[in-house]
Amino acid sequence: MNELSSDLEPHYATVLARNPGETEFHQAVAEVLESLAPVVRKHPDYLHHAVIERLCEPERQLIFRVPWTDDQGRVQINRAFRVEFNSALGPYKGGLRFHPSVYLGIVKFLGFEQIFKNALTGLPIGGGKGGSDFDPKGRSDNEVMRFCQSLMTELYRHLGEYTDVPAGDIGVGEREIGYLFGQYKRITNRYESGVLTGKGLAYGGSQVRREATGYGTVFFTEQMLASTGSSLSGRRVVVSGSGNVAIYAAQKAAELGAQVVACSDSSGYVVDEAGLDLALLKQVKEVDRARLTAYAAERGSARFVAGGSVWDVPCEVALPCATQNELDDAAALKLVENGVLAVAEGANMPCTPDAVRLFQERSVLFAPGKAANAGGVATSSLEMQQNASRDSWSFEHTEQRLHEIMVGVHERCASAADEYGSPGNYVAGANISSFIQVADAMLALGVV
Ligand code: NDP
């Protein structure tokens, strides 16, 4: 990491001491603190009122056992988490992740990022995150349903449309949200639509929520390119991952005239010089829940590469949309050597700190996840708005709102970066703009 100013270093040391072994959380905190030296110099009140210490300590952390029975009748035990990080701006809002790698440090990194991301949207939502080390891969629908029901049997008491509103993330899509909402409804005897977002359209979901994170990432990329007089049209694009964010980032980039030539999953990547066939990709990933090898087997122009790095594929725009720390300095160097112009994080913290530094040193436009992927949570907030007013908006209207929100996120980042002496630095701009908003709300609310 870069050196921290003497004002901020002790706060980071405290985070390390109080949260041992939670390396992803340390990384997320360091990345924010690195941007804040000019802010605390200008506003020493933030230090006097311990805003940073308070921000780094979640308001509430829940850890609980999730027992369930598999299809063979064996009892399985998983561990689940919900970290309610900060509610200065609104109810805790952030997804649930089901992946075997989930532990407290991952949930805290995601929850911490979420506070700032949600502030950047300009909408009234606080930050939280949750998940479980449950691995949905290879599990039947019935197993997934029993797991979701067991998890909600504990989690429901902590949720509420004015308290804490989860959504999806890795391994949690419409199927899982449906099972979770069904169990919440049954236990509480309330049709409280606004308690979960990412719902299906049949029961209170919002148009564009499924597409929102990927679309928003591309809208942000478009704004970044436009600020240098460029655009996505005709650009060669590579995405990583082939899940919810990756698929809809690829779709919007293609709609805007880009050629999306590669994507990946945890087994390897496909290169398709004819441009990804998105209908086939959706069939393989969303319907069949299969591996990318199935895509390559169906598509003559595609080649599957087992295990390698998707960032070896030359491109002008790179959209990492899989998982944290998937793009390291070696991958960043390869992208730079191949002439990359812009990188936008569709995933949360997919680029390592060394990779981010390299992009910035080599004048590659770089959008951090808390700005670039904020369209997902923003549209979740629009879903809450529709649920609260018992309304349902058209696709066109909702996409228009998402576009306006992403233009606003870009504007907030760019103007804070200018004001605090780092023009063009979206990392600094995103951290500074969102920190000030949350910190001012915390000061106004007193020591709570
Ligand atoms: P999905 O589960 O739909 O897809 C995840 C994709 O990433 C899959 O292709 C998966 O491959 C791949 N992947 C996951 N973990 C790993 C790993 N350890 N190594 C290699 N590949 C991996 O998740 P989402 O698309 O929803 O989420 C992707 C990222 O976007 C995450 O960082 C998430 O936090 C972030 N995000 C998501 C939002 C949303 O609205 N869904 C909102 C904002 C951010 P495989 O299937 O082989 O595991």
Q: What confidence tens digit (pLDDT) does each residue in 266-316 have?
A: 999 999 999 999 999 999 999 999 999 999 999 999 999 999 999 999 999
pLDDT digits (tens, 9 = 90+) for 39-78: 999 999 999 999 999 999 999 999 999 999 999 999 999 9
Q: DSSP character for 169?
A: B
Where b means 16+ CB within 10 Å and e means fewer, 361-382 reads: eeebbbbbbbbbbbbbbbbbbb
Is pTM beyond 0.85? Reply is yes
Mean pLDDT across 310-338: 98
CA distance 162 to 284: 37
What residue segments make up the domains of the chain, in order of their start? Answer: 9-56, 60-191, 210-372
pLDDT in the model for residue 5: 84
Confidence of residue 81 (pLDDT cuts 50, 70, 90): very high
Contact 71, 143 (CB under 8 A): yes
**CA 332 / ligand 1 centre spacing (Å):** 20
Give the pLDDT score at 6. Answer: 87
For residue 290, what are its two tokens? 């299969």
As a whole number of angstroms, the distance between CA 383 and CA 393 comes to 9
The residue whose CA is least distant from atom 15 of ligand 1 is 323
Probe target for ligand 1 pocket from 99, 110, 137, 170, with the most ligand atoms within 8 Å of CB: 170
pLDDT at 373: 98
Residue 2 reports pLDDT greater than 80 = no
In the DSSP assignment, the letter for residue 274 is T
Judge if the beta carbon of residue 240 lies within 6 A of ligand 1.
Answer: no
**What mean pLDDT do residues 13-34 have?**
97
Phi-psi label, residue 230: left if phi above 0, alpha if psi -120 to 50, beta otherwise? beta
The tokens describing 5, both together, are 């100013």
Average pLDDT over residues 407-426: 97
**Residues counted in the chain:** 448
| Rounded-to-integer distance, Cα 375 and Cα 208, Å | 10
User: What's the rounded mean pLDDT across residues 371-397?
Assistant: 98
Distance (Å, rounded) from C-alpha 443 to C-alpha 432?
Answer: 16
Nearest one of 240, 250, 409 to 313, comparing CA atoms = 240
The answer, yes or no, to whether residue 446 has pLDDT greater than 80, is: yes
Cβ–Cβ under 8 Å, residues 258 and 232: yes
Residues with Cβ within 8 Å of residue 367, at least 6 apart in sequence: 217, 220, 221, 224, 342, 343, 344, 345, 426
Question: pLDDT tens digits for 211-239?
Answer: 999 999 999 999 999 999 999 999 999 99
Q: How far is CA 122 from CA 46, 205, 363, 374, in A?
A: 21, 21, 28, 10
Residue 303: count of CB within 10 angstroms of its CB: 12
The pLDDT, as a whole number, for residue 239 is 98
Structure tokens at 52: 């940073």
Identify residue 44 by its one-letter amino acid code.
Answer: P
**367 strand-pairing partners:** 344
Mean of per-residue pLDDT scores for the chain = 97
At 216 the pLDDT is: 98
- 210-372 classified as CATH 3.40.50.720: yes
Residue 420 is given by DSSP the state T
- Amino acid in position 374: A
Q: Is the CB of 197 under 6 A from ligand 1?
A: no
Q: Is the CB of 310 under 6 A from ligand 1?
A: no
Nearest to 61 by CA among 110, 9, 120: 110
Which residue's CA is the nearest one to ligand 1's atom 42?
376
Q: Give pLDDT tens digits for 163-218.
A: 999 999 999 999 999 999 999 999 999 999 999 999 999 999 999 999 999 999 99
Taking alpha carbons only, the member of 135, 158, 160 closest to residue 147 is 135
Assess whether pLDDT exceeds 80 at residue 442. Answer: yes
Residue minimizing CA distance to atom 7 of ligand 1 = 322
Question: Could you confirm whether 129 is annotated as catalytic?
Answer: yes
Q: Which of 79, 93, 349 is nearest to 198 (CA)?
A: 93
**Which residues, 6+ apart, have CB-to-CB distance to 27 below 8 Å?**
1, 109, 325, 349, 353
Which of 157, 166, 162, 161 is closest to 197 using CA atoms?
166
Q: Residue 3 above 80 pLDDT?
A: no
- How far, in Å, is the centroid of ligand 1 from the Cα of 174? 14
What does the pLDDT look like over 164-178, one tens digit per residue?
Answer: 999 999 999 999 999
For every residue of 79-135, DSSP letters joined together read EEEEEEEE-SSSSEEEEEEE-TT--HHHHHHHHHHHHHHHHHTTSS-EEEEEEES--
Instruction: Give tens-digit pLDDT for 307-318.
Output: 999 999 999 999
Decide if 126 contacts 52 (C-beta within 8 A).
no
Nearest Cα residue to 27 out of 126, 132, 105: 105
* Average pLDDT for 4-10: 89
Q: Per the residue annotation, which of 108, 117, 129, 252 is the catalytic one?
A: 129
Q: Which one of 3.40.50.10860, 3.40.50.720, 3.30.1010.10, 3.40.50.1820 gives the CATH number of domain 60-191? A: 3.40.50.10860
Which residues have a Cβ under 8 Å from the Cβ of 191 and sit 6 or more positions away?
185
- pLDDT-above-90 percentage for the chain: 98
Nearest CA to ligand 1 atom 27: 170
Show the tokens assigned to 50. Answer: 């311990």
| C-beta of 178 in contact with ligand 1 (< 6 A) | no
